[in-house]
Structure 1
């Protein structure tokens, strides 16, 4: 199994699809990306309409206060009308109460919508990644994938949950306030608006700067996540400790963390001086408005003190949401970099997709046939397998042997449809595996590899991952077949024992046997054993060989092995060399032929220090 191109993470994938983030590209957000973000909210249109109505009502309630203040200053106080003053005071309190209640309801609705959108985005990305080919994960660091789901989507939490509502709310407040100011006094209103073009211009500059900084920061976070995933796992700790590289690993992480901290500061400080200038300008406008109002009154033009006070009050209600609006636009500029990274993964094509109208096999027999199969990994100098034709009748066994890199594991991958053939076909019961549903194929073909994968859960949960409805008795039967029941039962917690990170509490051989029991539990008609007993000692291997022989009766078994002692009893043995079948026959026939297989048996016996492998 080791040495096959499919095992090499450094090799490029089948389509050459890049997984490098492009969020740091053009400064201006692409319109199609913005439209795509808006489409995420389409299923919640009705709720958003209700939110918009609530926001409009809240904005109207907010601008009512200055008009009430004008009546207080110009009418109630000069006349000494306490009754009118009481009604106006009640109106001031009432507008605040109504606005607050509307804001609470609107906040609840927008949070629900935002969380629904976040949930949908996370599930869509995770589901899409689950359908990606093995090649995608061979060329992509696990930490990078985790960063897209955790860091990028996590950073969108605030944007999706509240930013949209804040944008609409502040925009509505600005529009209503502008109308109210023009209604009070158009001259002072136009003077107040002089700050707007300058503010918008500066805001656009800050937004572009934030977008670039955010893209760089997310790339650095992805790199840091990958380092954590690689070096803080059990295998990573073992590697760094046993090679004495702990100081270097810490130094690398320190440098990455320093870059992230620097970019965080840059993101936070981006445009800070521009914002200070905008804030100063907005603070100066009310004072200048009083000065202009005094000059207008001095010319004899009608302008009541109440109108002047109300208009300056409205200026405050204009500049606060306007400043918030400008900051939200900057935040949206930055968030487009995050959406770009998420959409990049969502747009990565599924290389091994289920075809429309895919078939199921209700009662698969297990007849496997490779018909002129050729396949090559992208970037390889030559095909990994070429013109391979093999027929494995149902209930028989096939052993694939050959030197490292000869294409044995690749043939197994093609049968399990982890990759698709370039030419030819792999058939199960006469049906091209590309025409089967993914569930039907996985139910028919059980795969056990030497690189076992166990969840951080109990032994029972790991076994039931393959058969959720399995009873305790069925678990134990599968474990006995895999020669691991005694080991599990001897533990203090038995089948409730937590296996640890990647099954670290168990030896390599024990993990392989648990993985084998998990496959046995599924009872598939086809067994694909890829070095499935490589980590077993000789005694356990012999016991399991007997168990597998019993299990294989009436079942198609394809074994990929370096230890040739494990494949002597196969109904047929195919010898691969540079991706081609060079010999085929039984153990005795191939030994008698004195060809490539005989050479492999001799080399195997020499490594084992015995000539036993030469015995037919």
Structure 2
């Protein structure tokens, strides 16, 4: 049977990256999911087919997009060289391997290897869109394999606690031996006490059992205390490093992922901690107890040991054989449930849109259908799990019965004592528990390894301030010119946005940055603050290249106020102090007065101590924008960029804010990105970007003198 590759996607948006990783692995190359996300331009909503094609080509694949019509399906299956990436059900990418007998093999990053009928394949193959990939003879194999060491980062943290780990392992071995106490005690009581002529007093056996039980309980307490300390130390270390890494990762990382990644990583950290606890606590205990049981059973009778091992391995074999089906059913159920949860969350979050468009009657059938599909997936998952449990219990019951009968026959032949006969049953349960624990750990270890790999890739991401330690703090002059030479930028999977942009903006005044929506105005603002890496070209502030400034230095002196103002769940004053931690209440009030925010803040019952929610639902859009502007005013930067930062203000309030702001910033550079004539008219200089190039760059008075086509920005 051919070997089909499968790599599990790390999140709902990773299906394209995982599919490309599957194809690369098929041809002998290993690429990390995090790297593939970058090259194919994975965003929160997933990846475009264009981005997937361009990313594959950058890795050395020859890529070709096809649209397979149903009438050409059989011809395509006969002629194509597997594997190929296909667009699945309108929101997913999977890998098609081809046909095997009457079934079609699909490697689904969310579920596993699937065997589909012709109708199932055609129904799921959305539009017949297909990406054919073949490795370039030279460029693909020149690509180095990514070093995948998911446990390296975690194991490094164990070295300082190596004596604790060793103690836990030794305690586990000791406890493994202590589980034999009760079965042996039963044997001794039956064989030496409950007899017509007892050979040993019951009291002495009870005292021995009490001593051993006390010792075992002491070892258990010590193991639990050490295990708790070990687990908490490891989790705290991982969480602290995760927090530091999140604060230092570039904006592109955050923009391409939902905030649920935080919950996912914290869940993975807990799973990794539990897995390591099993390795250093449970596995030594179970392994040694299983070996000790085998020794005792062998002493009783070698045939008993073989029979008991056969029963345990039979139960384990059923679990191993059914595990792929259990895993696929579990993944299918989880993905369906997660997809429906996302849909219901969107419905809740966009209640205003749905109600104002009378959409609920049209959306309700889709929700009902998807919930029905979730019910079917959950039912299939439960049936597979029930089958596994039923078969395991049946084999365990039959095997235990056979073992008991076999031991009884040996007792009748006087090869076993009555005490040994009773002890055999207890020892068999201990052996079964040890084998089952080892099998379950091994089967679940794959999932934990995926979690460790995801965490390793997160720590492997390059922080945006990696080289800042060797850069000196540089003060930017408020009159420093802003110049760009050959500036280029494009989002992965999209056409170039800025193409060879070369210009100089004079410092010390107000500059209006205008252009049609999507022309690259906001992107240029993010390039100026190094929120996005420059693709090609140079940006200079005065005579200093942007890369010469440490990020903290740059972002305290070049401040961007985006259109969507966001705040932490804390008071207004504390949100403003994020920009200036030592700001006094007078400083805060002065900034808010300039931004026309002081008056409405004073109207709140708690004034500047008012707590802002996650979405600041207690503020209007214009109020949020004014507080965000006040936060930037507190920083008093040489260069301030307002990216549609007054778009939600009414014209009189906007005029008031702009007049006070520009008066306060006299002699400093203020870049105004806006479509509003009232804002543009307050600038001294105008930069018009169109199709990635500077269409106009000059004084506002000269801009007015241009042809009427240009004046639509001033007189809409």
TM-score over 0.5 for the pair: yes
Aligned to 2:231: 114
Q: Distance in 2 between matches of 1:364 and 1:321?
A: 67
TM-score, normalisation: structure 1: 0.83
1:521 aligns with 634
Residues 426-462 of structure 1, C-alpha deviations (whole Å, 9 max, x = no match): 1234333334333222222111122222334332232
Aligned with 2:331 (options 215, 220, 236):
215
Deviation, structure 1 residue 123? 5.4
* Aligned residue number for residue 205 of structure 2: 88
Residue in structure 2 matched with residue 611 of structure 1 by the alignment: none
- Conserved in 2, the CA contact under 8 Å of 1:358 and 1:435? no
Q: C-alpha deviations, 1:247-281, integer Å up to 9, x for none?
A: 55565555555555554554454353344333333
SS in 1 for 2:615: helix
Residue 710 of structure 2 is aligned to residue 600 of structure 1: yes
Partners of 2:185 and 2:205 within 8 A in 1 = yes
Task: Tell me how far 1:88 sits from its aligned partner.
Answer: 0.9
In 1, Cα distance between equivalents of 2:261 and 2:192: 66
Structure 2 residue matching 1:488: 3-state secondary structure: helix
Partner of 1:416: 529
For 1:540, the equivalent position in structure 2 comes to 653
Q: How many Å apart are 1:204 and its aligned residue?
A: 1.6
1:344 shift after superposition: 8.8
For residues 528-580 of structure 1, give each alpha carbon's deviation from its aligned partner in whole angstroms, at most 9, with x where no partner exists.
Answer: 11122222222212211221112322422222121233234434222222121
Q: Which TM-score applies when normalising by structure 2?
A: 0.72
The 1:188/1:126 distance shift into structure 2, 3 A limit, reads same
C-alpha distance in 1, partners of 2:190/2:601? 85
Q: Secondary structure at the match of 2:518?
A: coil
Question: For residues 518 and 438 of structure 1, what CA distance do their matches in structure 2 show?
Answer: 19
CA apart distance, 1:188: 1.9
Residue of structure 2 in register with 1:612 after alignment: none
CA distance in 2 between counterparts of 1:161 and 1:505 reads 46
Of Structure 1 and Structure 2, the greater helix share is in 1
SS in 2 for 1:503: coil
The residue aligned with 2:616 is 503
**1:63 Cα deviation from its structure 2 partner:** 0.8
Separation in structure 1 between the aligned mates of residue 187 and residue 427 of structure 2, nearest angstrom: 11
- Compare 161-170 and 101-110 and name the one that shifted more: 161-170
CA 1:262–1:427: 2 relative to 1, 3 Å:
farther
Distance 1:240 1:533, change over 3 A: same
Instruction: Name the structure, 1 or 2, with higher relative contact order (CA <8 Å, separation 6+).
Output: 1
Contact 1:14 1:135 in 2 (8 A): no
Partner of 2:473: 361
Q: Does 1:272 align with 2:386?
A: yes
Matched pairs, number: 590
The answer as to 2:426 corresponding to 1:313 is: yes
In structure 1, the partner of 2:575 is 462
Aligned-residue RMSD, C-alpha = 3.8
Matched, 1:52 2:169: yes
Q: Which residue does 1:399 correspond to in 2?
A: 512
More moved, 246-255 vs 497-506? 246-255
Cα deviation, residue 479, structure 1? 0.5
Q: C-alpha distance in 2, partners of 1:524/1:321? A: 65
Mapped partners of 1:198, 1:332: distance in 2? 21
CA drift at 1:487: 1.3
Distance 1:164 1:262 in 2: 39
Go from structure 1 to structure 2 and tell me whether the alpha carbon gap of 1:302 and 1:377 turns closer, same or farther (over 3 Å shift). closer
Are the equivalent residues in 2 in contact too, given 1:68–1:88 (CA < 8 A)? Answer: yes
The question of whether the paired residues in 1 share the 8 Å contact of 2:176 and 2:284 is answered with no
Which sits farther off after the overlay, 312-321 or 156-165?
Answer: 156-165
Structure having the larger proportion of residues in strand? 2
1:326 matches 2:439: yes
Aligned to 2:22: none
Gaps of 5+ in 2: 1-40, 57-91, 94-107, 115-146
- Could you say what secondary structure the match of 2:500 adopts? strand
In the TM superposition, residue 80 of structure 1 has moved relative to its aligned partner by: 5.1
The aligned counterpart of 2:297 is 181
Helix, strand or coil at the partner of 1:404: coil
Which residue in 2 is equivalent to 1:558? Answer: 671
How many angstroms apart in 1 are the aligned matches of 2:383 and 2:447? 13
Alpha-carbon offset, residue 511 of structure 1: 1.4
Matches for 1:274-313 after TM superposition, within 5 Å: 274-296=388-410, 298-299=412-413, 302-313=415-426
Confirm or deny: 8 A CA contact 1:125 1:345 kept in the other structure.
no
Distance 1:580 1:403 in 2: 12
Q: Is the 8 A contact 1:210 1:333 kept in 2?
A: no
